[in-house]
């Protein structure tokens, strides 16, 4: 049979040869790096036979898919170790995630640090045994009987939901799992790993289900990579927005108020207000008009929009008002549609760009709530553009250019994804194709590279998703652009064309920041809490050395506040080194120290975070310096 490699070269192999044979045909060294193989979109273990003439792609740890199967295989090793140490543990799921893997277990008591150490030691034993991942294809009926005999309720539940008549099992070191695969050839390929933490996790993320114990881990083909990743994880910990948010007094979540609801503290509110003011200014420059819509609306509008049909699981239960069900809004779009429809529009009026910092409410299971990043109530920087079909591509281009400029201000690069029609959706195929083509054309004309994300569009249209890359290389969900032909039809949104007849409008949904909660939560981690001057809640702290300088310090603070600067006074009876240390802990950009000499010369002894002592600077110079940084939005 003929095997074709990605570079177009071929090799002749005997029938019955395995994928490992095809890798060895390239070189022994390459074969040692290979983890699995792929034909078209189907993955194979290396020890499986090649089905016939085929174009084969190999997976290594350098590939995203290769890393995922490596981490998933390590999750199996961990499960095997847990079952050896805790035979009564019931196994649930153990997927690879973006930064490693986890496995969920049903055990009587939560795992302790000592338990994790024992599990890690047992994993080393499984690795040293170089146990082979053995695949077995059996009927779903036999799998149900097997897991019933093994008393594994979660596997029984999962197997029972599969539609396939046949399923695959993988066996490793006495552990049997229901799994599609593929896996690495043997446990010995796992050279370095670390169990990171354990935490409670509801089965399937539903708080109505049993609480399981989830163990997180990471693994690599060599110890150096593991060391680098552990150092990176330490940096991630330092930047955790939940820790910094409390330390810097930016926000809180109160149990009595409700999970997933953010309480913005004064300092956090300053950051938000500054970003929102900038957002309004930039939108007005681009021809957007600011609107406000109610927090609740009648069910009639959500029946018409399709939200009750396609999005009800994310909406909260209605309240009865005069016999009519009302919902807190999950989206801003119906309100914007109604504003557009408040009078007849001409083609000469289009495009109309309505924007709103609109607060919406969506149900999230308690198991997935995460600080500011996953919440139940949040404010979107929402906008809806109503335009003619001919204007659609140019409008999307305008949004993409806006995104590029805006993200540059905050120091983000980004990665774009084009998400196409999901299974659960509205509208005809032609409308979806037209909308997708418009997005592709806009991406092409702006030279924005993108990846296709099949089936991940929203129910009313395809979208461009922009994921922001922070200083640690992590991706955050950010801007999104959606071309929507469906809501225009459902709400009968029209304009009068040149011919005097009514024509259907094209509606573009877009956010350029996302939600304020998630965006600012991400910014906290991006900047490690050290916001640039224009965003810093406190831009400078004035520190008199003694009470003799206090009056001058007060007048300086007042003077700086009068010109719009955010300045605090630290006149505590503390040594200056303590005051400096406290200001640095709170990530304040500038420290203005006043002693007798400074007052005599109308200067301040200036310190900047990270840079230290900058010497004596005239008072007017430091005021102008901060004003320029505010205006130019410079980053440290």
Catalytic residue list: 333, 362, 380, 382, 384, 463, 509
The 10 Å CB-count burial string (b at 16+, else e) for 395-413 is bbbbbbebbeebbebbebe
Q: Report the distance separating Cα 36 and Cα 20, nearest Å.
A: 8
The beta-carbon contacts of 369-372 under 8 Å, at least 24 apart in sequence, are 369/259, 369/260, 371/241, 371/242, 371/245, 371/253, 371/521, 372/241, 372/242, 372/245, 372/251, 372/262, 372/517, 372/518, 372/520, 372/521, 372/524
Q: What is the DSSP string of 527-541?
A: TTT---TTT-SS-EE
Helices (H), 129-222: 140-149, 153-161
Of the candidates 445, 451, 347, 449, which has an alpha carbon nearest to the alpha carbon of residue 397?
445
User: With 0-12 CB in 10 A as exposed, 13-18 as middle and 19+ as buried, what is 361?
Assistant: buried
Q: What is the spatial order of strands in the sheet that 10-12 belongs to?
A: 10-12, 2-4, 54-59, 36-39, 42-44
CA distance 539 to 579: 15
SS (H, E, C) 244-270: HHHHCCCEECCCCCCCCCCEECHHHHH
Buried-exposed string 456-482: b where 16+ CB fall within 10 A, e elsewhere: ebbbbbbbbbbbbbbeeebebebbbbb
* φ/ψ of residue 102, rounded to 5: -150, 165
Q: Which two tokens stand for residue 158?
A: 């999962």
Does residue 632 sit in helix, strand or coil? helix
DSSP 299: H
Residue 280: count of CB within 10 angstroms of its CB: 15
Give dist(CA 89, CA 150) in Å, integer.
Answer: 11
The half-sphere exposure of 162 on its side-chain side, counting CA atoms within 13 A, is 21
Report yes or no: 560 and 594 within 8 Å, Cβ to Cβ. no
Distance (Å, rounded) from C-alpha 359 to C-alpha 264? Answer: 14
Distance separating alpha carbons of residues 43 and 353, to the nearest angstrom: 46
* Both structure tokens of 476: 């955050």
Q: Are 360 and 378 in contact (CB under 8 A)?
A: yes
> Of 464, 451, 466, 472, nearest to 404 (Cα)?
466
């Amino acid at each position: 049979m003929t095997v074709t490699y990605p570079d177009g070269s071929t090799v002749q192999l005997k029938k019955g040869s395995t994928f490992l044979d095809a890798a060895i045909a390239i070189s022994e060294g390459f074969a040692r790096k290979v983890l699995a193989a792929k034909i078209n979109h189907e993955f194979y273990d290396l020890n499986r036979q090649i089905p016939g003439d085929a174009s084969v792609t190999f997976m290594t740890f350098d590939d995203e898919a290769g890393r995922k199967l490596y981490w998933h295989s390590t999750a199996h090793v961990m499960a095997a170790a847990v079952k050896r140490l805790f035979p009564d543990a019931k196994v649930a799921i153990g997927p690879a995630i973006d930064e490693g893997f986890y496995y969920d277990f049903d055990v009587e008591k939560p795992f302790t640090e000592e338990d994790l150490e024992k599990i890690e030691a047992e994993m080393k034993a499984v690795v040293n045994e170089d146990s082979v991942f053995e695949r077995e294809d059996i009927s779903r009926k036999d799998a149900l009987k097997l897991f019933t005999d093994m008393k594994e309720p979660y596997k029984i539940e999962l197997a029972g939901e599969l539609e396939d008549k046949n399923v695959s099992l993988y066996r490793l070191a006495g552990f049997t799992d229901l799994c599609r695969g593929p896996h690495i050839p043997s446990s010995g390929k796992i050279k370095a790993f670390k169990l990171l933490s354990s935490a409670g996790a509801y089965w399937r993320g539903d708080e109505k289900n049993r609480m399981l114990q989830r163990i997180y881990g990471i693994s690599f083909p060599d110890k150096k990579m593991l060391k680098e990743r552990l150092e990176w994880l330490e940096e991630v910990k330092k930047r955790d927005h939940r820790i910094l948010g409390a330390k810097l007094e930016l926000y809180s979540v109160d149990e009595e108020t409700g999970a997933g609801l953010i309480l913005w503290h004064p300092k956090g509110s300053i950051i938000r207000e500054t970003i929102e003011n900038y957002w309004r200014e930039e939108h007005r420059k681009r021809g957007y008009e600011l609107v406000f819509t109610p927090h609740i609306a009648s069910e009639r509008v959500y029946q018409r929009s399709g939200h009750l049909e396609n999005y009800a699981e994310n909406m909260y239960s209605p309240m009865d008002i005069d016999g009519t069900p009302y919902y807190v809004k999950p989206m801003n779009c119906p309100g914007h549609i109604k504003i557009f429809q408040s009078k007849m529009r001409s083609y000469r009026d289009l495009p109309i760009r309505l924007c709103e910092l609109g607060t919406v409410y969506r149900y999230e299971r308690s198991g997935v709530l995460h600080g500011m990043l996953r919440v139940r109530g949040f404010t979107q920087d929402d906008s809806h553009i109503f335009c003619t079909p001919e204007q659609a591509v140019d409008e999307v281009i305008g949004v993409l250019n806006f995104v590029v400029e805006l993200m540059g201000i905050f120091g983000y690069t980004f990665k774009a994804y084009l998400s196409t029609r999901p299974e659960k959706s509205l509208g005809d195929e032609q409308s979806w194709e037209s909308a997708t083509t418009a997005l592709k054309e806009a991406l092409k004309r702006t030279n924005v590279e993108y990846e296709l994300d099949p089936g991940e569009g929203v129910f009313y249209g395809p979208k461009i998703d922009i994921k922001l890359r922070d200083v640690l290389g992590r991706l955050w969900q950010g801007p999104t652009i959606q071309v929507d032909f469906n809501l225009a039809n459902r709400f009968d949104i029209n304009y009068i064309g040149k011919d005097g007849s009514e024509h259907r409008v094209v509606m573009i949904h877009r956010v350029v920041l996302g939600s304020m909660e998630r965006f600012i939560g991400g910014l906290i981690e991006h900047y490690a809490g050290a916001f640039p001057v224009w965003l810093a809640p406190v831009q400078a702290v004035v520190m008199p050395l003694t009470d003799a300088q206090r009056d001058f310090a007060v007048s300086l603070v007042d003077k700086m506040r009068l010109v719009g600067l955010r300045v605090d006074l630290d006149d505590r009876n503390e040594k200056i080194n303590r005051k400096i240390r406290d200001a640095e802990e709170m990530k304040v950009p500038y420290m203005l120290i006043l002693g007798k000499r400074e007052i005599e010369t109308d200067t301040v002894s200036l310190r900047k975070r990270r840079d230290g002592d900058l010497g004596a600077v005239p008072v007017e110079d430091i005021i102008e310096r901060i004003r320029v940084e505010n205006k130019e939005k410079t980053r440290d």
